[in-house]
Structure 1
Amino acid sequence: MADASKKELLYALIRDNPYIAQQDLAEALGLSRSAVAGHIAALIRERRLLGRAYVLPDRRPIVCIGAANLDRKLRSLAPLTMGTSNPAHADESFGGVARNIAENLARLGSKVALITAVGDDAAGAALLAHAAAIGIDTGATLKLADTCSGTYTAVLDGGGEMVVALADMALYDQLTPACLDIRATLRSNAAMVLVDLNLPRETVAALIDAAGRDQVPLIIVAVSIPKMARLPASLHGVRLVILNEGELAARVRRDLVTDSDVAAACRALQDQGARDVIVTRGALGVWYTSTDGVGHLPAPHAEPVDVTGAGDAFAAAVCHTLNLGGDLALACRRGLELSALTLACTQTVCPTISHETFRTPLLQD
């Protein structure tokens, strides 16, 4: 291929992802690093590039790293009977913990980038198009050939409570430390990095190390009890861990019977290096660490229509509030508010969420 064509392809890659590393460009185009540097220098001389993609502090994105799936929900129209066919209503939407949080953040008005993996199928193309339409930067997403995008299928009872869920998310194992290193510039320039535990354990460990080195706040969001095994032993460098009671019990390897048990488990995670911990307990509200020990906030009354996405909405409100300078208590109050809105909605991300959602809080700040 002629040098001019290589240069134009390189320019297109940079337009798609201004944070792309030279090594990534070299691998994509089959060029040496020195050849890539030469093309970049030529583009700068032509004033088609004005230098690397530095980001002003007030416009730094919250970078969400993890799953972006096609979600399928099957809601029973009658009491469920195991071992036989049940009448149900089916619904499809975009999901995945990191993607859901990113969408909530974007709707709240935060600048957001999403690092995930998608296949070369219609679902992957639709996921990326939907994200771009609501203002999420997906330029750093890993696109995998001959691979299906992730799927999550939940079975809900008539009251909207989840009975069982099945997830096909093996493609996120491709989000390796080396893959994330190529995207290090985006992460190091972030206002905050949020990671879900659909990532491989070694990737989570590498991101924790990088957060401490780059001094970028890192939020870890648990996704299930089995995937708690992906949380490394050392949490030094972690700003906040958000998880539910079952996931916390799995981490500390003991039952949590009383409030004192929950408080002690939170302190155990702090001893492992996490600065703060939030524990969601459904209708019992949330527990969060503070300078005075562990605080508690009751859950607001809600009439659940569908529980899917409520925890992701909570995490998004927490991150949005912390990024704007709010404290953890206010972040949790707003998390409960956004979670309640989502519980009352049939969609995974409530479409009425906007930058004005917290102007008149439903809960007393």
Structure 2
Amino acid sequence: MSDLPKKEQLYELIRTNPFISQQDLAAQLGLSRSAVANYIATLVRERRILGRAYVLPNRRPIVCVGASNLDRKLRTLAKLAMATSNPARQDESFGGVARNIAENLARLGTPVALVTAVGNDASGRALLAHAEDAGIDTRAALRLDGHATGTYTAVLDHDGDMAVALADMAIHDEMTPAFLAARAQQRGAAALVVADLNLPQASIAALVEDAARDRVPLVLVAVSEPKMARLPRKLAGVRLLILNVGELAARVGRPLESEAEIAAACIEVQRDGVQDLVVTQGGAGVFYTGPGGLAHLTAPPAQVVDVTGAGDAFAAAVCWSLHSGDSGLALACRRGLQLATLTIGCAQTVHPQLAPGHLDGLLEELILD
């Protein structure tokens, strides 16, 4: 690289590390800070990089904002019996909605960054190291002394269906609007921002306002019926809201027992400003909004090994499709259903064999079938 002109050397350093500082660039190239700034200004004018984040136009990432934690799965060895002791097997892995989505995306070959909060403890350090090994940029993560990394404990029956889950996610309350404002550069450089509702209500509202102002598409992913209370009333700027029927019912404040009632609820939420909704139904498939109203896709048959992570895999595939520039939610949801089915069939929260090109391969198999 030493034979290249200084501007090209600088460009190669930025291409390798888009978040490199001007001071580091100056030190590595033997230049003054003002000379580095002039070269960067030239590259911006040439549209070879985009603004202060030094993001290359063809490598704008998906930024995932929200929960990461240690997952514990307890699976009974026989039919679950309530109010008594059950023999069980325990597995531990890394989880959290935003983290799971980020890992799926990274394994699919998508540039992805994770904005999350972990304790400055062994679990938090191991979680971030695992994410980095998977190809996730974790430099925007909040590392907190005196806080424990979040945990999520799921109890599964012997068939792999979830009986109950317990979550200690208090650390994510530290992801305040002020913290998110300090990470605005990373979010502003994104092709797409996806956030889960483990964030505080004020932080979710701030993300929605930023999306409307900066016109960076925002996908919100619901996590539970109680946390639907964190969803702001005004949703202008939200490209997509992914939630299940129970969470949609919690939003509109009434039971939804028919397709017509689900369609009416979607229209009601769209009046609040969200562009589109995807409403999941587990094994019954998904509803999604479009120009012609509400449409439905049936889920492919699945051999259930473990349902944990299936919803996050679905959301990741939908986001991957949007990031790829494919139009329409029909294709995105088909990809989501295929990846969710693949994930249900393995014991891990994120399928370990997932790789670039996997989603297109799954769709080819679906067409041939």
Same fold, TM exceeding 0.5?
A: yes
Distance 1:16 1:138, change over 3 A: farther
Shift of 1:56: 1.9
Deviation per CA, 1:99-147, whole angstroms, max 9, x where unpaired? 0000000011110000000101110000000011011000000000011
Aligned to 1:81: 81
2:61 alignment counterpart: 61
Question: Aligned ranges for residues 346-361 of structure 1 at < 5 Å?
Answer: 346-360=347-361, 361=363
Contact 2:53–2:189 at 8 Å: present in 1 too?
no
Matching of residues 257-336 of structure 1 within 5 Å: 257-326=257-326, 327-336=328-337
| CA–CA separation in structure 2 for the residues paired with 1:179 and 1:53 | 18
Q: Does the CA contact (< 8 Å) of 2:74 and 2:90 recur in 1?
A: yes
- 8 Å Cα contact 2:236/2:273 also seen in 1: yes
Q: Report the equivalent of 2:219.
A: 219
- Contact 2:18/2:55, CA 8 A, preserved across alignment: no
1:44 Cα deviation (Å)? 9.4
Contact 1:334 1:363 in 2 (8 A): no
Shift of 1:85: 1.1
2:143 equivalent to 1:143: yes
Letter in 2 for 1:332: C
- Whether the 8 Å contact between 1:201 and 1:231 is mirrored in structure 2 is yes
Unaligned stretches of 5+ residues in structure 2: 1-15, 38-51
SS in 2 for 1:73: strand
SS of equivalent residue, structure 1 residue 186: helix
**What residue is the counterpart of 2:185 in the other structure?**
185
The aligned counterpart of 2:93 is: 93
1:11 corresponds in structure 2 to: none
Map 1:69-218 onto structure 2 (within 5 A): 69-218=69-218
In the comparison of the two structures, how many residue pairs are matched? 334
SS at match of 2:243: strand
Q: Are the counterparts in 2 of residues 333 and 363 from structure 1 also a CA contact under 8 Å?
A: no
Q: Which moved more, 1:154-163 or 1:50-59?
A: 50-59
Preserved contact between residue 57 and residue 191 of structure 1 (Cα < 8 Å): no
Residues 16, 359 of structure 1: alpha-carbon distance in 2 compared, 3 angstrom cutoff: closer
- CA–CA distance in structure 2, aligned partners of residues 317 and 85 of structure 1: 38
Alpha carbons 1:19, 1:185 under 8 Å: kept: no
Post-superposition, which runs of at least 4 consecutive aligned residues in structure 1 deviate over 6 A? 39-42
Number of the residue aligned with 1:251? 251
Tell me whether 1:363 sits opposite 2:366 in the alignment. yes
Letter in 2 for 1:62: I
Distance 1:42 1:156 in 2: 55
Contact residue 211 and residue 218 of structure 1 kept, 8 A: yes
Please state whether the residue corresponding to 2:367 is helix, strand or coil: coil
Task: Name the amino acid aligned to 1:165.
Answer: A
Indicate the residue corresponding to 2:31 in structure 1.
Answer: 47
Local SS of the residue matching 1:358: helix
Letter aligned with residue 335 of structure 2: R
Question: How much has 1:42 moved relative to structure 2?
Answer: 7.4
Please report how far the alpha carbon of residue 342 of structure 1 lies from its aligned counterpart in structure 2 after TM superposition. 0.3
User: Counterpart of 1:245 in structure 2: which amino acid?
Assistant: V
The TM-score normalised by the length of structure 2 is: 0.87
- In the TM superposition, what is the alpha-carbon distance from 1:17 to its structure 2 partner? 8.9
Q: What secondary structure sits across from 2:294 in the alignment?
A: strand
**Aligned-partner Cα distance in 1 for 2:82–2:329:** 42
The one-letter code sitting in structure 2 at the alignment partner of 1:85 is: S
Is the Cα–Cα contact under 8 Å of residues 19 and 183 in structure 1 kept in the other structure?
A: no
Which position in structure 1 is the counterpart of 2:342?
341
Residues 304-332 of structure 1 deviation map (CA, whole Å, 9 limit, x = unaligned) = 11100000000000000011111211000
Query: Aligned to 1:269, what secondary structure does the other structure show?
Result: helix
Note if contact 1:310-1:340 (Cα within 8 Å) is conserved in structure 2: yes
- Equivalent position SS for 2:128: helix
Q: In the alignment, is the contact (CA less than 8 A) between 1:17 and 1:140 conserved in 2? A: no
> In the aligned structure 1, how far is the partner of 2:32 from the partner of 2:90?
49
With normalisation by structure 1, the TM-score equals 0.88
Consecutive unaligned residues of structure 1, counting only runs of 5 or more, are: 1-14, 21-36
Shift of 1:268: 1.1
